[in-house]
Chains A and B, each alone.
Chain A
Amino acid sequence: MDKKKAVRDYHRNLAVTAGIILLIFIAIPIFVKSPYILNVFVLVFYMSTLSMAWNLLGGMTGQNSLGHAAYMGLGAYASCLLVVRTGINPWLSAVAGMVAVAVVAGVIFYPCFILRGPYFTLVSIAFGEAIRQFIINSEFFGRASGVGLPYGKDSWIDFRFGSKVPYYYVGLAMMILIYAFMKKIERSKIGYALKTIREDEDAAAAIGINPIKYKIMAVVISAMVAALVGFFYASYIRYIDPELMIQAKSTEAVLPAIVGGAAFVEGPIIGGLIMIPLSEFLRATYSAILPGINMLMYAVVLLVVIRFRPAGILGWYMNSRAKQFVDERILKKPSVEVIEEVEMAGGR
């Protein structure tokens, strides 16, 4: 009986902690007035979301894509062009953009799924470059000059604001929503299929998983989320050009996941919260003094994390005293067996 209560208490504590963290994020714009700081948060939100999109493919499925900037860019282009050319509502264009990118990603990648390991990575780079080159050569996409979204009065309908606050909340909501979605996937049939594929494709086939089908699913979902981020980016920056899709941007999309811990759905968020403010700080502080030194230091941080904390910050936390302390003292987590027992009992 008190086992049951212990588990219930633990779940309550978890919920309360999550609630507090959420409240802090909701409260930030009330206390932080600096648009620049809010801007950094907005960056964190959309980059973390993009990184979560990557992580579905890279972390969960073991397919290291280095072409996510292309999906994001395509999404941004699709929604921008629709708004500019047809004048439809941006929110609708976002949906259309996601669908378009999903189709493109699915169709183009279908033949590539025979590829494993590094081959997949290389194709994803070539694919990203090919899309970028295509846009640069295409009159329709505005070639290298890019596309701008119209400025104007603040409006929810047009998703356009002078202030950072609405972007902050939309960005936050997007990140949380995608997080919840990814968490759901992780524990679902798809999640298990993807993880099985990551570990061994032959083993996956042996239990009835069609590796190609699920990999396509992963790529399509991942590309759609990236396209959503592209829409958000375009609405926020209000100007896009093919430079958005260069390979360095794809790399940027991955770093939060690597630093945070690619094995965890939370990894990209933790990594984003660390790496993006760090990069902004380094640029603000050092770039003017000695150009390049900021990226140099950023690279050093990245290398140190990979070298000494290969499972990322979260992987490190999971085996740390800090976690023990949090579990025991703050969350009052009962043993795994107890939780399991109560859960199984509840099921009958």
Chain B
Amino acid sequence: ASGAINSAQGQAAAPAEQERTEAAPAEEAAPAEETAAADENAPEGDPIRLGTIYAMSGGNAAIGANILRGIDFAVAEINAKGGVLGRPLEVVRGDHAGDPATGKSEAERLITQEHVDLMMGCHMSTVTEVVAQVCQQYGVPMITAISTLDRLTDADHEDMDYFFRLCPLNSVYVEDMLKYLKDSTEQTGEEIKTIAIFTDRAAIGQELIRCVNLFKDEYGLELVAEVDYTSNATDLSAQVLALKDANPDAILCDSYIGDATLFVQTLKAQNYSPKMIVAKANGFTDPSFITNLGSIANGVASVVEFNPDLTNGVEINEEFNKEFGVDMNGHSAESYTVVWIFKTAIEAAGSVEGEAVKEALTNLDIQGEFPGGRKIVLPYDRIKFENYELAGEPHYRDNTYASVAIAQIQDGAWKTVWPFNFTETKIAYPAPLE
């Protein structure tokens, strides 16, 4: 199903190395232009308004914070280089507090009161679904950077031609996770036969379970336990005991940051060291995950949409860390990229008019690097929104080139370990958790 995506990854490795040297002069040239451009253009034009709708308050506000860092970083960068069509970008923030009704209300406010030209959001697919409808109704182009729910772009949404998705779909994530499990034998010498799922009972967890069931037979894996809990759990020891009892070769998990932290602590407390833990990003890749857990996080692996050690990521991560004091994570990197996509599309359309930008997005094809910007910082080298079929279902306007890597925490930092041709780092097996 994701053959195309895989081949993209395969190709990405080598060119990325070459392009790096080429890109350097372009980057150096930029500051010269930038000063000139900044003086003439940036402060003058009417700002182009980019609406963002994320949870700023409520239980999942931490995710919103990471996303907005990425957006702010990109906007600063773009404005410093003269903005878009000579006009500065301006971010107008909305807060959906995790609630679809509030999301709808905010979308309406941003569009009709704040007159935003573009929209980004949300971090909960359930809210994205509602917000996308509002954008469609008012003809405001919207890109979601991180909503991975497959359904968002399925046949029911065929007509929603103002809505685009950058990130991979859940099924892509999960299939890559399973692929990693299989490929790992090559390095560890042990075959993974049984798996267990540990996950939140919220929508994210349901998706993990659904997708694992979709692919497990194809990869010859036996699902021996499905263990779930309610978000912000007070205690996970019962769950950990259930996993311990099932004793799988690998655990797949998806949790928000608080539960992810508690999970690893509880593994230690219950004296259980699974040999392999692979997470579906989310809380596990939140910057505070490693900070909070310290050495006991070593060995946890996760899907990453971005990692600082990716060839294209090292530089931006340094700047980003200088600015915010934390590493760029997948959410920050993806939202950073979306801002650049909007810039590119607007410049291609020559206006910010919704219809024109939508057309430009439909036809957009970014290969390697953004015009006037960096190379794509994510682990793939092309961005194009396409209609296609996935597992026999039609999908619309997804970035089919999107893919993910797998990283593992080693010596207190995320190290990319898969695909193997992307990295030198070897899998630490069994996961030490200390």
Contacts and interface: CB of A to CB of B under 8 A. Distances in A.
B241 to A, nearest CB: 20
B119 to A, nearest CB: 14
A96 interface: no
B203 A39 contact: no
B327 interface: no
A287 B105 CA distance: 14
A35 interface: yes
B35 to A, nearest CB: 30
A239 B57 contact: no
A3 B379 CA distance: 86
Contact of B105 (A34, A39, A239, A294): A39
B154 to A, nearest CB: 11
Interface string A118-153: 000000000000000100110000011110101100
B216 interface: no
Given A43-B105, A291-B95, A237 B206 contact: no
Given A136-B201, A237-B100, A288 B105 contact: no
Contacts of A233: 101
A291 B207 CA distance: 29
Contact of A292 (B57, B99, B100): B57
B57 A238 contact: no
Contacts of A148: 129, 156
Chain A contact surface mostly: helix
Contacts of B7: none
Contact of A239 (B94, B129, B207): B129
A162 interface: yes
B130 A238 contact: yes
Contacts of B95: 283, 287-288, 291, 294
A280 interface: yes
A162 B137 contact: yes
Nearest to A133: B230
Given A34-B113, A144-B205, A291-B95, A237 B126 contact: no
A291 B56 contact: yes
A36 B108 contact: yes
Contact of A145 (B61, B98, B108, B126): B126
Q: How large is the interface on B (under 10, 10 to 19, 20 to 34, 35 or more residues)?
A: 35 or more
Interface string A21-35: 000000000000011
Given A237-B130, A243-B98, A283-B95, A144 B105 contact: no
B112 A294 contact: no
A103 interface: no
A194 to B, nearest CB: 30
Given A145-B126, A150-B156, A288-B93, A294 B57 contact: yes
B56 A238 contact: no
A241 B126 contact: yes
B202 interface: yes
A284 interface: yes
Given A34-B112, A239-B100, A295-B57, A144 B203 contact: yes
A35 B98 contact: no
B206 A145 contact: yes
Interface string B94-112: 1101111110111011011
29 contacts: A34-B113, A35-B108, A36-B105, A36-B111, A39-B104, A39-B109, A143-B203, A143-B206, A144-B201, A144-B202, A145-B126, A145-B149, A145-B207, A146-B203, A148-B129, A148-B156, A150-B156, A162-B137, A237-B100, A237-B104, A280-B109, A284-B113, A287-B93, A288-B92, A291-B61, A291-B95, A292-B57, A294-B95, A295-B57
Interface of B: 56-57, 61, 64-65, 92-95, 97-102, 104-106, 108-109, 111-113, 126, 129-130, 133, 137, 149, 151, 156, 201-203, 205-207, 230
List of 10 A-B pairs having minimum Cβ-Cβ separation, nearest first: A288-B93, A291-B56, A287-B95, A36-B112, A36-B108, A144-B203, A36-B109, A144-B202, A145-B203, A39-B108
